[in-house]
Chains A and B, each alone.
Chain A
């Protein structure tokens, strides 16, 4: 083989290798999706979705968890992001930024145990919806803080200067000029964070425990989709396992639609 042919071969080999790897990466994802759709779709009907015998309580619980977590996490996360972006030009902020990044990748099981000890045992005295929301907030806040920081940094400095030069105080410049300019980035960040926590299981097992009934109160155990899937998978009964597949399909659809929502919002940002 002469030198030219060898070089051409190497070129093609490199392309083939990368193609093979992406296929290897996608196969599991596709096979999971297909498996879940095939096994789960047959389960889905109105009764399954909304009754106490189906996954009604689990869907309700997951939605309540998302709502509570957002309620705790969005204000704290956005304010943290504002600090990092607008006031974060110092050494302390760069430390906080590093910690925040660490927290984003923190093992969720450890967060679950911590919240379990502090809130479930220490404060409420029972597995509870509120403890679950607190645990999920620990994962939610760093994501929102990070995305808020990133999207506010994209707002051109000239816009801040325009406001400051009018004699507008800094806090008002941030709230009325900078935040609206970075709005779609903030929404994207919040949606991404919701998608991230919607499927979390480990911290929930130790905090909300799970339940067979609809919502009983914030200080009571509560059902949720990930826990329902986990428990169904451990049951010997084929009927219960089938319910688990149905729940898995619903959860995937929720996360998927959130991701598509993110794409639509951020596409809007590019157009503007």
Chain B
């Protein structure tokens, strides 16, 4: 897939890579000393967090701790918010996505996102919602749209429910179905990483169970990062868990270790429900 972009001058600075980073590049993604601000509010403080390939990494923490901001820094969505700032690096396959020669639009094609509230395109049919990724990014050349739509919907376990209604509006189905439609839309572009920002918080338990099942099945082909309020959910779906508190990374470890043997006192208090 070749996408013509405006040629950018690559600067020497972007090519620099410290020894420390080179060691860490075996991870799929890696944030290094990541800081983020909204106006003057410092919402992320020196986050250094690895994301391992073909695994599910959960980010947990109380409201307002910066979970969503963190994953929005992973595909450069944070900078779309007016008056936002960030510093530090985020590596994708060892390359800094904030280097000056990187086009954020192309990063977003490699690192997809699913939002808290299902947000299908309201003016498009179910079919076009899934095909939109390919149509709007100019990637549809030489690809069979029908095939991509069917594959994506099947992977999102929505195909059987909507295959007869592909022409219906994307907003005509239930909330849980809409969220799976959004997941199908995200995977239609075959991203390498999928970021999910509390994907179940607007859904009922049955729809939640379906999406959790789907998340676990996705890690075969993708790397998944999921932000969640729900600790049971983190325990059920993730392989690694990061606990964020007031913008700082308190603890990161395998999910089992975090839940059975937390090293940090705050982590223990949070997962046992003493605050948050």
Q: Residues on A close to B: CB < 8 A?
A: 89, 156, 158-159, 161-169, 172-173, 176-177, 180-181, 183
Enumerate chain B residues within 8 angstroms of A181, measured Cβ to Cβ. Answer: 121-123
Select from chain B the residue with minimum beta-carbon distance to A170: B105
Q: CA–CA, A173 to B77, complex, Å?
A: 14
Enumerate chain B residues within 8 angstroms of A163, measured Cβ to Cβ. Answer: 121, 132, 136
Enumerate chain B residues within 8 angstroms of A176, measured Cβ to Cβ. Answer: 132, 135-136
Select from chain A the residue with minimum beta-carbon distance to B134: A166
Q: CA–CA, A264 to B185, complex, Å?
A: 34
Closest chain-A Cβ to B139's Cβ sits at a distance in Å of 9
Closest chain-B Cβ to A163's Cβ sits at a distance in Å of 7
Question: Counting CB contacts under 8 A, is B112 at the interface?
Answer: yes
Enumerate chain A residues within 8 angstroms of B80, measured Cβ to Cβ. Answer: 161, 164
Enumerate chain A residues within 8 angstroms of B123, measured Cβ to Cβ. Answer: 177, 180-181, 183
Of A156, A165, A183, which contacts B75 at CB under 8 A? A165
Question: Counting CB contacts under 8 A, is B225 at the interface?
Answer: no
Select from chain B the residue with minimum beta-carbon distance to A162: B119
Q: CA–CA, A159 to B124, complex, Å?
A: 12
Q: Residues on B close to A: CB < 8 A?
A: 75, 77, 80, 82, 105-110, 112-113, 115, 117, 119-123, 132-133, 135-137, 182, 185-186, 189
Closest chain-A Cβ to B204's Cβ sits at a distance in Å of 20
Q: CA–CA, A159 to B136, complex, Å?
A: 14
Contacting pair B136 A172 (CB below 8 A): yes
Given A167-B189, A168-B136, A181-B123, A162 and B106 contact (CB-CB distance below 8 Å): no
Question: At the interface, is chain A mostly helix, strand, loop or mixed?
Answer: helix
Of B117, B122, B189, which contacts A166 at CB under 8 A? B189
Select from chain A the residue with minimum beta-carbon distance to B5: A169
Contacting pair B105 A177 (CB below 8 A): no
Enumerate chain B residues within 8 angstroms of A183, measured Cβ to Cβ. Answer: 123
Number of A-B contacts (CB under 8 A): 69
Closest chain-B Cβ to A48's Cβ sits at a distance in Å of 44
Enumerate chain B residues within 8 angstroms of A89, measured Cβ to Cβ. Answer: 82
Enumerate chain B residues within 8 angstroms of A167, measured Cβ to Cβ. Answer: 105-110, 133, 137, 189
Select from chain B the residue with minimum beta-carbon distance to A175: B136
Q: CA–CA, A177 to B132, complex, Å?
A: 10
Q: CA–CA, A180 to B121, complex, Å?
A: 10
Enumerate chain A residues within 8 angstroms of B121, measured Cβ to Cβ. Answer: 159, 162-163, 177, 181
Contacting pair A159 B108 (CB below 8 A): no
Q: CA–CA, A182 to B28, complex, Å?
A: 39
Closest chain-B Cβ to A165's Cβ sits at a distance in Å of 4
Given A89-B82, A161-B77, A176-B136, A166 and B119 contact (CB-CB distance below 8 Å): no
Of A158, A172, A180, which contacts B115 at CB under 8 A? A158
Closest chain-A Cβ to B225's Cβ sits at a distance in Å of 13
- Knowing that A167-B137, A168-B105, A173-B136 touch, tell me 6 more A-B residue pairs with CB under 8 angstroms: A159-B122, A161-B77, A161-B115, A163-B121, A172-B136, A177-B121
Q: CA–CA, A8 to B123, complex, Å?
A: 52
Of A164, A166, A173, which contacts B186 at CB under 8 A? A166
9 closest A-B pairs by beta carbon, nearest first, are A167-B109, A167-B108, A165-B113, A180-B123, A158-B119, A168-B136, A162-B119, A166-B133, A89-B82
